[in-house]
């Protein structure tokens, strides 16, 4: 298939590389020259022009938010795609946004798959993401060769766009709350003057562990806050969760976690790895965690 993948961040890059390795004709697009270079080094063909998506059989979208997806899914781009093309939107968005995009795509005779993903950068790179998909049978049929390349688990959640995004909303609630809990635990361990690597070793084998603890905990212990998923991503995603709950559901832990991420963003951590919220908690307690040279200023 001729495939255009727009957004070569931590998840999109892995998807592009695995589609390329599976034998598809892939062009990867991003505004960041460094991201384009990474794909080129893996053997792929890159572009910073959306027009190069013309005549593609499939368009995969891995941008940050609904506003960016909105800019991509213009009528001019959609009408330039190949007949019977499928748009696979992997962005975390509201169910309503997914439904709106689907209507736009299907109105001109193309197929839309609401396909948010999970698994982190490491699984994206090995083609082992999980896809929470919903869309028509034909959309799934057209997307299957690409889903096989990028994911080890593809969940078929319904025939209507929005069902995949609803499931991703629940996933992000848990992911955000778990990251906040990891940050709190590691900050407390720092306060208790514990060896953070030893904490990781022990808790990872005990009932208190979680996927996020084992994945984000090492970031904190190593003081490595290079963004794989940023603080601002969870400000957005937990905002989606909060909007979904509206006034009809009680989500106290989500609201606490959202406040933590929002406060971290306000202090300049927005583009740091989401595990950097541990620094905010540690600073409030006068604790210096690895990788935080400013801790003494907050003591």
Q: Domain residue spans in the chain?
A: 2-160, 165-298
| Fold type of domain 2-160 | Rossmann fold (3.40.50)
Give the Cβ contact number of residue 139 at 10 Å.
25
Per-residue pLDDT of the chain (299 residues; tens, 9 = 90+): 999 999 999 899 999 999 999 999 999 999 999 999 999 999 999 999 999 999 999 999 999 999 999 999 999 999 999 999 999 999 999 999 999 999 999 999 999 999 999 999 999 999 999 999 999 999 999 999 999 999 999 999 999 999 999 999 999 999 999 999 999 999 999 999 999 999 999 999 999 999 999 999 999 999 999 999 999 999 999 999 999 998 788 999 999 999 999 999 999 999 999 999 999 999 999 999 999 977 545 44
**Token code pair at residue 142:** 């057209």
pTM, rounded to two decimals: 0.94
Straight-line distance from the first to the last Cα atom of the chain, in angstroms, rounded to the nearest whole number = 57
Catalytic positions, written as ranges: 168
**How many angstroms separate the CA atoms of 110 and 213, rounded?**
41
Residue 128 and residue 151 in contact, taking contact as beta carbons nearer than 8 Å:
yes
Q: Which top CATH class is 165-298?
A: mainly alpha
Q: Angle at CA 217, nearest 5°, toward 250 and 151?
A: 80
| Pick from 153, 152, 150, 154: nearest CA to 20 | 150
Structure tokens at 163: 């069902």
* Pair of tokens at residue 22: 């599976």
d(CA 138, CA 86): 9
């Amino acid at each position: 298939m001729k495939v255009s993948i727009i957004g070569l961040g931590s998840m999109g890059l892995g998807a592009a590389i695995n589609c390329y390795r599976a034998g598809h004709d892939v062009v990867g697009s991003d505004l960041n020259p460094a991201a384009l270079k990474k794909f080129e080094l893996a053997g792929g063909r890159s572009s910073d022009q959306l027009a190069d998506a013309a005549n593609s059989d499939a368009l995969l979208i891995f941008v940050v938010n609904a506003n960016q997806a909105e800019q991509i899914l213009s009528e001019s781009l959609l009408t330039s795609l190949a007949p019977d093309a499928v748009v696979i939107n992997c962005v975390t968005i509201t169910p309503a946004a997914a439904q709106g995009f689907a209507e736009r795509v299907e109105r001109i005779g193309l197929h839309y798959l609401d396909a948010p993903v999970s698994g982190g950068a490491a699984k994206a790179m090995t083609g082992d993401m999980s896809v929470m998909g919903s869309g028509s049978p034909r959309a799934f049929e057209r997307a299957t060769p690409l889903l096989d390349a990028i994911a080890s688990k593809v969940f078929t959640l319904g025939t209507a766009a929005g069902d995949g995004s609803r499931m991703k909303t629940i996933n992000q609630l848990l992911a955000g709350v778990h990251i906040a809990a990891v940050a709190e635990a590691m900050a407390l361990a720092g306060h208790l003057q514990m060896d953070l690597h030893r904490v990781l070793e022990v808790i990872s084998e005990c009932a208190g562990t979680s996927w996020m603890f084992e994945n984000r905990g090492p970031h904190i212990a190593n003081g490595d806050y290079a963004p794989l998923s940023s603080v601002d991503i969870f400000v957005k995603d937990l905002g989606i969760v909060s909007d979904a709950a509206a006034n009809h559901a009680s989500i106290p832990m989500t609201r606490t976690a959202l406040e933590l991420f929002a406060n971290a963003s306000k202090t300049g951590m927005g583009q740091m790895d989401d595990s950097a919220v541990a620094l905010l908690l540690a600073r409030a307690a006068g604790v210096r965690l690895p990788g935080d040279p400013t801790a003494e200023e907050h003591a």
